Amino acid sequence: MNFTQLQERVRLELLRRIERGTLSVSLLARQTGMGQAHVSNFLRARRGLSLGTLDKVLQAQRLSVADLLPSRRETMGELLTGQMGEEARIPLVSGAVAIFEPYIRASSVETMLPFPAVSVRGLAARCGQGRRQWERFVAVRLSAEEARGMEPVAVTGSVVVLDRHYTSFRPYREGVANLYGARMRAVAGTQFVVRYAQFEAERVILRPVAVQRKAEVVEVGAGETVHDVLVGRVVVVVSET
């Protein structure tokens, strides 16, 4: 891991902590002696940090380089090179982990699920450079709330495989709307949902299948882009029968 990659992992971890409410731009500025504008520009990937400043951030947030490394698991790239034949094993995680963890820790994995390798091999990626540092494919088993309004496309208990390197609103296939894992605000905090999504007037509109349910309008938070609302494109849906 080089210095640029380390900074990107620190940036993503800080954004995750801000999203969860355990950190703020002003608090980080006070902890490190940085100006708030400097912190904001770093979080927006508009500027980097010096080695000394990065060290202050790590100390202030009680982070070590080891905390920022992915778990020592076979990577998806290794799994798709023939080592597992025609089978790919994808980590099953919670919706919160899919949203917030760029590098999936072993403790976050419920199990490894087998899927046909052809279902995830050779897919086009459309995302920012920062997102390309994330582990690409994860699976989520949907709760009733996460799947609400999406029947029969996805139902309670369905497992969806997400491509977290596809956070574009551009249709993957001409004339076919993309289905996404997305995040939205809820009473208890940030919630993972499966929805169709579109970008309108600087906002993200998350649409269910059920006509009786209203679409949700998601405003973009500080230090984010509209693409951050999208956790990833759903490439596989497996429903229990």
Among 21, 47, 68, identify where a domain stops.
68
Q: Check residue 35 and give its pLDDT.
A: 92
What is the distance between the terminal CA atoms of the chain, rounded to a whole angstrom?
44
60 and 167 in a single domain? The answer is no
Beta strand 87-93 with 137-141 is: parallel
55 and 111 in a single domain? The answer is no
| Averaged confidence pLDDT in the chain | 85
- Give every CB contact of residue 142 below 8 A, 6+ residues apart in sequence: 95, 154, 155, 156, 157, 158, 159, 160, 194
Q: Check residue 197 and give its pLDDT.
A: 94
Per cent of the chain over pLDDT 70 is 90
- Give every CB contact of residue 78 below 8 A, 6+ residues apart in sequence: none
11-70 confidence digits (pLDDT tens) = 888 887 887 777 888 989 999 999 999 999 998 888 889 999 999 999 888 888 777 765
Rounded mean pLDDT, 81-106: 79
Residue type for 7, please? Q
CATH (domain of 83): 2.10.109.10
Count of domains in the chain? 2
Picking from 91, 95, 94, the residue whose alpha carbon sits closest to that of residue 193 is: 95
Is pLDDT larger for residue 148 or for residue 241? 148
214 and 116 in a single domain? The answer is yes
Is residue 7 scored above 50 in pLDDT? yes
Are 7 and 49 in contact by the 8 Å Cβ rule? The answer is yes
Is residue 75 scored above 50 in pLDDT? no
The boundaries of the domain holding residue 9 are 3-68
Confidence of residue 3 (pLDDT cuts 50, 70, 90): confident
17 and 63 in a single domain? The answer is yes
47 and 10 in a single domain? The answer is yes
CATH (domain of 39): 1.10.260.40
143 and 159 in a single domain? The answer is yes
Q: Check residue 72 and give its pLDDT.
A: 45
Residue type for 80, please? L
24 and 90 in a single domain? The answer is no
108-153 confidence digits (pLDDT tens) = 889 999 998 888 888 999 998 888 888 899 999 999 999 999 999 9
108 and 62 in a single domain? The answer is no
Are 58 and 10 in contact by the 8 Å Cβ rule? The answer is yes
Is pLDDT larger for residue 73 or for residue 167? 167
Alpha carbon 121 to chain centroid, angstroms: 19
Q: Check residue 125 and give its pLDDT.
A: 95
Confidence of residue 87 (pLDDT cuts 50, 70, 90): confident
pTM of the model: 0.68
54 and 93 in a single domain? The answer is no
